[in-house]
Structure 1
Amino acid sequence: MKILLSALLVCFVFFNASAQLTPFELSKDKNYTATYSEVIAYYKKLAAANPQMKLINYGTTDIGKPLTLVVLSRDKVFDPALIKKQNKKVLLINNGIHPGEPEGIDASMMFASDLLKKKALPKNLVICMIALYNIDGSMNRGWSRVSQNGPRAYGFRGNYRNLDLNRDFIKADSRNALAFEQIVNTWNPEVFLDNHTSDGADYQYVMTLIETQKDKQNPILAKYTSETLTPELYKRMKKSGYEMIPYGAGERGLPDSGIVSFLETPRFATGYTAQRNIISYITETHMLKSFDKRVYATYDFEQHLVDIFERDAKLVGELKHKADEQVAHQKTFALDWDVDLARVDTITFKGYAALYKPSDISGLKRLYYDRSQPYTKTIKYWNSYKATDSVDKPAAYIIPQAWGKIIDLFKLNSVAMHRLAHDTTIALQMYYIEDYKTPQKPFEGHYLHSNVKLNPVDMKVKFYEGDYLVYTNQPLNRYIVETLEPQGVDSFFTWNFFDSMLGEKEYFSNYVFEDKAAEMLKNDPALKKKLDDAKAKDPKLAGSAGAQLNFIYRNSIYFEKTYLRYPVGRLLTDTKLDLK
């Protein structure tokens, strides 16, 4: 009987342990990533057996399924507001934004299970994990990343609408992005991690790292991340056997030419979170390393990030609070950045010899990396950026209610807004778009504007009851200013939200306007002189009757005042207005 009971106990323990293993762990060759249905089924079983874990669904993604958030709370508190009242901090981890880069999906499943099994949930933190962000792409399972070393099958980069979801956080074309922004603004994390896989050159590292670019990050947070958090992550990962290097080796030529730190503008997940003073990281495991090493490296990084964040939770909370207060009172905001080539550091790099040999296909010279010839050398590292465009914030912006998508996004992002109580003519500054460049081919479904030139004009404009007033005294000022200033690298104007105001709506009939134009020139000597001066400078104008009529029309009271006028007004002084 004792032998039978012992055998049953062993079987029970073995079965219970096996039940907690992820599909990745159960695979013999550790070269398998879980499908979407396996991910959700695994987390549901884990949550059912552990009261310290809860699954919360948000929104509906483009493929019709909700975005599932895995919440791990030592005290079994799952109310975000109560968690903040208890002075606990929040770590948000995102997985599978590019499903062909699935390490985070499998690593996070193991990490959640082990934290629960070992009773090791942190005291000062609540951990939130997006189980699988790009559900659409994950379900489109195949072998699309032809240059990648495993797993056996994986998802597609684009989602159901063929959008790269890591370019969607300002334009928010996908329902996935709307659900993500709801999560961020509900849980208000202090730290964010987005798990990826890199391509590029071959080298000795399993993982590379992107951090919020220090010169774009709030200075209060940049001091902590660059002097404490990031160096310690590098130190601990090296001790774990997964030494890291900054992302970017081979992105601009061979690794020997140096590394330029990645600039994550607001279109990216970490650029979007950085606008909220959230400390943000992207892990980039290397595509040519075996899948198991990539998963375990991601697991170790998550563990180290949790350990350091747990230790510094109070400090990180205080720093974010100070950064939010500073941004609320900040006057000048950068809108675009470029690498500062004059400021260069050096870094120790462990690579492989880059050699050339004849191609078996073309017979021409081709590049390859020889792993039998590893090297360690010092290379250049450009880790400094400078603002190439900036603006002084107005006291407030006024957004006509007609621009509904912007209003909806501002509401989703918890931007404080007020509405005009009645129709009001307001003296303020309006921009006229003088020039801009637009490519011939779309990027992520949009024709992005760039090189925007503006002509600010002080004028009186009529706004209507219900139009929105947005004061720039908020911790979300970066999001507000960087989206509403049309010259911003990822502004709403850049992403074509306002293209309808780039076209004329009224015109004239030449034969009818001829007599009217002649009368205008006769009665307005200043207009006639302006036309004569223009003809003297421009032979094409002088030789075109139609062009001269158009010149007169555009310089008359009949020409539409709203053509090329950016519709969002800038209230430069704190003017008293009647608000609802």
Structure 2
Amino acid sequence: MFAFLLSSLLFAAPATDWRTPFEKGDGNTTATYAECIAYYQRLDAAYPEITMREVGPTDIGQPLHEVVISLDGDADPVSVRRKNRRILLIQNGIHPGEPEGIDASMMLARDYVQKKELRRQLEDVTLVIIPAYNIDGMLNRSATSRANQNGPREYGFRGNARNLDLNRDYIKQDSRNARSFAQLFQRWQPDVFVDTHTSDGADYQYTMTLIDTQKDKLHPALSQYMQQHLLPTLYAGMEKKKWPLTPYVDFEGRTPESGLHGFLETPRYSTGYTTLFNTIGFMTETHMWKAFAPRVHTTYAFLDLLVHTVHRDAAQIAQAHNTANQQVLTQAEFPLSWELDTTAADKVNFRGYEGRTKTSEVSGLPRLYYDRKAPFTRPVKFFNTYRPTATAQRPAAYLIPQAWADVLDRLRSSNVQLQRLTRDTVLTAEVYYIDDYKTGARPYEGHYLHSQVKLRTEQQQLTLRKGDFVAWLNQPAARYLIETLEPQATDSFFAWGFFDSILQQKEYFSDYVFEDLAADLLRRDPNLRQQLEARRQADPAFAKSAQAQLDFVYRHSPYYEKSHLRYPVVRWQNGVLPASPEN
């Protein structure tokens, strides 16, 4: 009798409700931060295949989380790689006003442990999800910060607690969020990375557009696999799911028919950073003026299809990734900046709306609008070939004085292997001088960016101190080192202003004192006198300026500080150094 009653109670117990906040709502709501974390905590408690843990701090004081989905419960990156599993990392909420990925990933995590037909895809794939990257912005919730967007009813804010756009912070790492991400990424070393977004811009028929790692920037072995296998599968698969894709809609003309431009994600961006470590990257960009529910469902469809494809192509991805990792260890030349080749174009069949003009109710002047009653499908040019505009030859190592702690901290967070000099050392090496550069007139993400850097190279005898650092280039982070430490690289540490103190002269001269010293220098150095005279002949303005001529002599004298404009990171080409691994 007791057993019968117990059995009746068990059968009468209500089933666990695993619907997400989005699924419980009306299709126009997104999970709050508290709801998102609580949902993953429930999954973690209920399913041994799911591990949720804190992985580092953020600027708002809340921890960054990772959710690991692994059929055998193995959440150790080293062990997972040893088992030869492919690793797929999904990041959500970098811009919390673009929250589709947050809600889609919650459903995806649940379905991949509850549905038998999906679990099979994880036999050789480990799925890692960052539930919300910009926690700061997710907590800053409102209904008005994205005027161009059709839902959800409330959402987060683009900037983080320091008002940083975190998708410009991967190299400079001003935020704790970015430093925590770098450490998470380096632990997992994923094969494929996805960053979920919503796009602004033109109107068109697609619910989702896609940014894939720019093919010319990705290592050739990975680029070939991506172009020939991965992208065709994703485009065909999304078409079959009734969620057709197009390349990200970026163009310079009046409307998209002028031609789409492939997006160049430099290392400041998430997929630009991950590319430096031979990870295939995607940014999904749902269209802001489509309703929120379809945006969530198309994001889910893409993520699900990507898991299936990584499972299908696990061996191919492993081979391409390993080839890229091995070849970068000996690669001799590295591109530093890129330019779009407007003479090379493919064609894509673009599904758009006709752009028309009508009178603005605000200004009374002509304004552009997209006529949804006039859809079209027509071929448009797709410009997606980039050519290097600057390159650097690989040195054997970079020598980095210990004084530049901010730079060294960022190298460490990106898993750069460093050694320290064990004694003071005098050596002759190649150094850069900054001959010219341009600086933005306004701050950009907390920095005044430098560009158009021109360098002069000298061989100099230098003294390095015990405790200074050596970064050898025969390591997986070689490309990262090149693109951060070569000053002319687009997103180098110099470009972001980490070395700005070298740009300021610390000593100078008083005219009435240096006049006599300069005259004596010219008497004792006929070659310097000839240089001065040649400059006078070539430049009439210079010839009329006593100050300019004194400055010329000063800069060519022993009194002028050699450290002015000298880039402190030294390129070392060969030879043994008295160094040992950093403790």
Scaled to the shorter chain, the TM-score interval is over 0.9
Output the amino acid matched with 2:169. Answer: D
- Check 1:578–1:43 CA distance in 2 against 1; reply closer, same or farther (3 A cut): same
Secondary structure, counterpart of 1:536 in structure 2: helix
Output the amino acid matched with 2:80. Answer: I
Distance 1:297 1:252 in 2: 28
Output the amino acid matched with 1:88. Answer: R
Out of 224-233 and 369-378, give the one that drifted further: 369-378
- Check 1:527–1:202 CA distance in 2 against 1; reply closer, same or farther (3 A cut): same
Distance 1:400 1:3 in 2: 76
| Contact preservation (8 Å) 1:201, 1:250 | no
Secondary structure, counterpart of 1:329 in structure 2: coil
Distance 1:454 1:10 in 2: 77
Secondary structure, counterpart of 1:54 in structure 2: strand
Distance 2:513 2:281 in 1: 62
- Check 1:249–1:487 CA distance in 2 against 1; reply closer, same or farther (3 A cut): closer
- Check 1:413–1:223 CA distance in 2 against 1; reply closer, same or farther (3 A cut): same
Distance 1:512 1:490 in 2: 43
User: Is 1:458–2:456 an aligned residue pair?
Assistant: no
| Contact preservation (8 Å) 2:99, 2:197 | yes
Output the amino acid matched with 1:135. Answer: I
Shift of 1:173: 0.4
What is the TM-score when the length of structure 1 is the normalising length?
0.96
Structure 2 counterpart of 1:407: 408
Structure 1 counterpart of 2:319: 318
Out of 118-127 and 35-44, give the one that drifted further: 118-127
User: Is 1:345–2:346 an aligned residue pair?
Assistant: yes
| Contact preservation (8 Å) 2:421, 2:465 | yes
Out of 441-450 and 472-481, give the one that drifted further: 472-481
Distance 2:251 2:372 in 1: 16
Structure 1 counterpart of 2:22: 24
Distance 2:373 2:84 in 1: 52
Q: Residues 80-119 of structure 1: matches in 2 within 5 Å? A: 80-119=77-116
Distance 1:113 1:241 in 2: 23
- Check 1:252–1:491 CA distance in 2 against 1; reply closer, same or farther (3 A cut): farther
Residues 263-319 of structure 1: CA deviation (Å, up to 9, x unaligned): 111110000001000011111011111100000100011111001101211221121
What is the TM-score when the length of structure 2 is the normalising length?
0.96
Residues 540-575 of structure 1: CA deviation (Å, up to 9, x unaligned): 332222222222111101110011111111112x21
Shift of 1:201: 0.8
Structure 1 counterpart of 2:178: 177
Distance 1:6 1:239 in 2: 45
Distance 1:38 1:274 in 2: 32
Q: Residues 123-522 of structure 1: matches in 2 within 5 Å? A: 123-142=123-142, 143-250=144-251, 252-522=253-523
Out of 531-540 and 174-183, give the one that drifted further: 531-540
| Contact preservation (8 Å) 2:433, 2:565 | yes
Aligned residue pairs, count? 574
Identity between Structure 1 and Structure 2 (%): 51
Shift of 1:5: 7.8
Shift of 1:400: 0.7
Structure 2 counterpart of 1:76: 73
| Contact preservation (8 Å) 2:251, 2:261 | no
Structure 1 counterpart of 2:40: 43
Distance 1:148 1:523 in 2: 73
Output the amino acid matched with 1:501. Answer: I
Distance 2:522 2:368 in 1: 69
| Contact preservation (8 Å) 2:351, 2:378 | yes
Which of these residues, 11, 14, 23, is aligned with residue 12 of structure 1?
14
- Check 1:536–1:350 CA distance in 2 against 1; reply closer, same or farther (3 A cut): same
Shift of 1:81: 1.1
Distance 2:388 2:29 in 1: 44
Output the amino acid matched with 1:91. Answer: L
User: Is 1:65–2:62 an aligned residue pair?
Assistant: yes
- Check 1:252–1:414 CA distance in 2 against 1; reply closer, same or farther (3 A cut): farther
Distance 1:542 1:386 in 2: 43
| Contact preservation (8 Å) 1:201, 1:251 | no
Shift of 1:191: 0.7
Shift of 1:439: 1.3
| Contact preservation (8 Å) 1:200, 1:250 | no
Residues 486-527 of structure 1: CA deviation (Å, up to 9, x unaligned): 000111110001000001011112222222222222222222
- Check 1:352–1:562 CA distance in 2 against 1; reply closer, same or farther (3 A cut): same
Query: Which runs of 5 or more structure 2 residues have no equivalent in the other structure?
Result: none
Distance 1:492 1:252 in 2: 33
Distance 1:383 1:104 in 2: 26
- Check 1:388–1:140 CA distance in 2 against 1; reply closer, same or farther (3 A cut): same
| Contact preservation (8 Å) 1:328, 1:472 | yes
Shift of 1:10: 6.1
Shift of 1:413: 1.3
Secondary structure, counterpart of 2:357 in structure 1: strand
Secondary structure, counterpart of 2:231 in structure 1: helix
| Contact preservation (8 Å) 2:450, 2:495 | yes
Residues 315-339 of structure 1: CA deviation (Å, up to 9, x unaligned): 2112111101111110010001111
Distance 1:164 1:406 in 2: 20
Distance 1:278 1:418 in 2: 26
Distance 1:516 1:550 in 2: 12
Residues 338-372 of structure 1: CA deviation (Å, up to 9, x unaligned): 11111111110111111111111111111111111
Output the amino acid matched with 1:65. Answer: Q
Secondary structure, counterpart of 2:14 in structure 1: helix
| Contact preservation (8 Å) 1:58, 1:66 | yes
Output the amino acid matched with 2:320. Answer: L
Shift of 1:154: 0.5
Distance 1:454 1:239 in 2: 52
Shift of 1:47: 0.8
Distance 1:403 1:248 in 2: 40
Distance 2:232 2:359 in 1: 42
| Contact preservation (8 Å) 2:250, 2:262 | no
| Contact preservation (8 Å) 1:33, 1:106 | yes
Shift of 1:375: 0.9
User: Is 1:578–2:578 an aligned residue pair?
Assistant: yes
Secondary structure, counterpart of 2:329 in structure 1: helix
| Contact preservation (8 Å) 1:418, 1:468 | yes
Distance 2:224 2:251 in 1: 28
Secondary structure, counterpart of 1:193 in structure 2: strand
Secondary structure, counterpart of 2:57 in structure 1: coil
Distance 2:218 2:228 in 1: 14
Secondary structure, counterpart of 2:343 in structure 1: coil
- Check 1:43–1:495 CA distance in 2 against 1; reply closer, same or farther (3 A cut): same
User: Is 1:549–2:550 an aligned residue pair?
Assistant: yes
Output the amino acid matched with 1:370. Answer: D
Residues 250-272 of structure 1: CA deviation (Å, up to 9, x unaligned): 56530111111111111100000
Report the aligned-residue RMSD: 1.6
Shift of 1:537: 2.2
Distance 1:412 1:139 in 2: 26
Output the amino acid matched with 1:46. Answer: L
